[in-house]
Amino acid sequence: MEKQNFYDLNFEQLRAFLIKNAGVDFKKAKMRSQQLFNAVYKKNIKNFDELSTIGSELRNKINSLISLDKPKIVDIQKSKDGTIKFLLELKDKRNVETVLIPDKSQSRYTICLSVSVGCYLSCEFCATAQISKKLVRNLSPGEIISQIILCKDYINDWSTNKIITNIVKMGEGSPFLNLDNVKVAIDNLKNKDGLEYGRTRITVSTVGIGTKKDNLDAIEWAAKELDVYLAWSLHSSIPKHRSELMPINDKYSIKSLIPQLKKYYEKTKLPIFIEWICLEENLTDEHAIELIKIMKKVPSKLNLIEFNPISNKGFKAASQESVDKFSKIIQEAGFLSLFRRSRGRDINASCGSLANKKALNI
């Protein structure tokens, strides 16, 4: 029988597993789960034989039922700006990429996680979508959270003061097409016996998937179940133009998403991050005027993102003059606008650049 992967379970799932499969008494299951979470997520044990708080009989039972297997790091690339890109090999030999982005001091990192192999959303400016054209498969909860464990190991981030301070699910794939597994991973990130990250240290991105989830709109469900920052990949405020950049707009329009995004804010009290790739064609006055209308309806902050060209597309990166002019219009309307420089461009680790052909068998 194949062992249960520890990282695929949140706290309550582990508790139920121990009761059902390991013969742990119902009254002691919570304590045992706390011991295991603490040992794995805080003390960084690599084998259950290292457990000193659990008797040998139960320890052996756990060892026979649960594994601590993680993906393998098969390649590491380092940018001249300090960004580090990891190529991970999954159990089925597929690959995904994870990125560590340092701050200016090179002492704190943001980690950018992937949630799937490939993506079918076909955003015109994104290398992942342009190379894959398909979703090969979603990552399991363990494959998502293992990216953090592996990176923490690499930079020795197991002290009280975290080196990896922020987590963004903005790598390969769309979190809203893998919500159940993303939820388990976030549960373990936030759990006080787990990695213990505050909700404002975690950001989940969406192009705007308006499907239903447990009788709620997906974005409203995420507000209730994830309760972290939400980044909306908008990139154009003009519907026809957005559909040209992002075909998903034909199915889930800007107009249809605004009520859901308002509910997300009302539930979480966290402003929405609006993501905007900086192209010459989407930094017009008309785009700014329409964007301001959206920001008046949805409490939000604007992140202007430097465009990273992909080989087969004719998009032109916006000039700094165009970026500054657009940002000034937004700020003068009373909204926060920040410009984010690309990191890791020389190793294809920047926003919209993650696309490993080996992962897709092409």
pLDDT of residue 190: 98
Quick: pLDDT tens for 208-231: 988 889 889 999 999 999 999 999
Cα(98)–Cα(218) distance, integer angstroms: 25
Assign residue 156 a region (left: φ > 0; alpha: ψ between -120 and 50; beta: otherwise).
left
Quick: pLDDT tens for 76-99: 999 999 999 999 999 999 999 999
> What rounded mean pLDDT belongs to the chain?
92
48-83 per-residue burial string, b: 16 or more CB within 10 A, e: under 16: beebeebeeebbebbeebbbbebbebeeebebebbb
Q: Which two tokens stand for residue 181?
A: 């597994």
Task: Label the pairing between strands 300-306 and 272-278.
Answer: parallel
Instruction: Determine the residue type at 66.
Output: I
pLDDT of residue 100: 96
Cα(237)–Cα(291) distance, integer angstroms: 5
Instruction: Determine the residue type at 249.
Output: N
Decide if pLDDT at 360 tops 60.
no
Among 68-72, 155-159, 249-253, name the one with the lowest average pLDDT. Answer: 155-159
Strand partners, 137: 117
What are the boundaries of each domain within the chain?
A: 4-67, 72-360
359 — pLDDT class (breaks 50, 70, 90): very low
Among 25-39, 130-144, 233-247, 325-339, name the one with the lowest average pLDDT. Answer: 130-144
Catalytically annotated residues: 97, 351
The domain 72-360: what is its CATH number? 3.20.20.70
* Strand (E) or helix (H) holding 198: none
Q: Which two tokens stand for residue 115?
A: 């949630």
Strand partners, 155: none
Q: What angle do CA 236, 242, 248 make, to 5 degrees?
A: 130
Which residues are CB-contacts of 263 (< 8 A; sequence separation ≥ 6)? 217, 219, 220, 223
Cα(154)–Cα(42) distance, integer angstroms: 15
Quick: pLDDT tens for 177-218: 999 999 999 999 999 999 999 999 999 999 998 888 988 999
Judged by DSSP in three states, 307 sits in coil
Decide if pLDDT at 47 tops 80.
yes
Rounded to a whole number, what is the largest CA-CA distance in the chain?
A: 70
Quick: pLDDT tens for 128-173: 666 656 889 999 999 999 999 999 999 999 976 789 999 998 888 8
N- to C-terminal Cα separation, the chain:
33
Q: Which CATH fold topology does 4-67 show?
A: DNA polymerase; domain 1 (1.10.150)
Q: How many C-beta neighbours within 10 Å does residue 17 have? A: 20
Decide if pLDDT at 329 tops 50.
yes
Contact 83, 102 (CB under 8 A): yes
CA atoms in the 13 A half-sphere facing the CB of 83 = 21
pLDDT of residue 313: 65
312 — pLDDT class (breaks 50, 70, 90): low
Look up the pTM and report it.
0.93
Q: Which two tokens stand for residue 137?
A: 């498969």
Q: Is 89 exposed, middle or buried (0-12, 13-18, 19+ CB in 10 A)?
A: middle
Which residues are CB-contacts of 84 (< 8 A; sequence separation ≥ 6)? 76, 77, 78, 99, 100, 154, 344, 349
Contact 196, 190 (CB under 8 A): yes
